[in-house]
Amino acid sequence: WESATVTQVKGAGLRCLSYTVNDEWAARRLIALGTDGFITDRVDLFPPV
């Protein structure tokens, strides 16, 4: 995702989701961009929110 894409998608009333995010740095970047969530195989790295 890019910031402009997230803005455009959310502006259209849609959600931004990503898969499969298994790296902490990638998850932090997606969260900082404002995405709505992600799917991971590494549940040990990411506490539920």
The predicted-structure confidence for 16-44, as pLDDT tens digits, reads as follows: 999 999 999 999 999 999 999 999 999 89
Q: Which residues contact 16 (CB under 8 A, 6 or more apart)?
A: 1, 5, 6, 9, 10, 33, 34, 35, 36
Which is higher by pLDDT, 29 or 48? 29
What pLDDT was estimated at residue 12?
A: 98
The per-residue pLDDT for 27 is 92
Handedness of CA 18, 29, 27, 32 (dihedral sign): negative
Please state whether the predicted TM-score (pTM) of the whole model is above 0.85.
Answer: no
* Helices first, then strands: H and E counts in the chain: 2, 2
